Amino acid sequence: MSKKILVVDDEEDVIRIISSNLEAAGYQTIAANNGHEALERAATEKPDLILLDVTMPGMDGLEALRKLKETVVPDTAVVLLTAKSEKSDMKAGWDSGADLYLLKPFLPAELTQFVKCILEDGPALLQG
């Protein structure tokens, strides 16, 4: 059974590129276009990993992250994908419950390799 990854971004092209690369690597992907959809999909699909954009209209990624970690999928790893590179932005991500913080832009193949490491090495990678 392939691992399930929830890809959350308000840009369809980003979702399509990330999803196609992950699916080519054997993962199952679920898409959400905003924070509200992310909460719904995470609750019903119970993904193994969530890739979450920070800047989205409505409920942004940080608010969605807090809600995901508080109630929906507290033990699921969440990787923030964002162009926000200031220390204060990163701190806000960590404080909201992010397991990892990945800066855009990145190569899709690099993200796929990164995901493979997280899902295969899981707890050891996330606990340092």
CB contact set of 76 (below 8 Å; sequence gap of 6+): 42, 46, 47, 48, 49, 50, 68
Q: Identify the pLDDT of residue 124.
A: 52
CATH number of 4-122: 3.40.50.2300
Q: Which of 37, 42, 5 is nearest to 24 (CA)?
A: 5
Q: Identify the pLDDT of residue 126.
A: 53
**Do the beta carbons of residue 43 and residue 74 sit within 8 Å?**
no
Instruction: Read off the pTM.
Output: 0.91
**Tens place of pLDDT for every residue, the chain, 128 residues?**
689 999 999 999 999 999 999 999 999 999 999 999 999 999 999 999 999 999 999 999 999 999 999 989 999 999 999 888 889 988 999 899 998 888 888 898 889 988 998 898 765 555 54
**Do the beta carbons of residue 35 and residue 50 sit within 8 Å?**
no
Helix axes 108-126, 12-24, angle to 10 degrees: 70
Q: Which two tokens stand for residue 1?
A: 């059974």
Distance of CA 91 to the CA centre of its chain: 17
Given its phi and psi angles, is residue 104 left (phi above 0), alpha (psi -120 to 50 degrees) or beta? Answer: beta
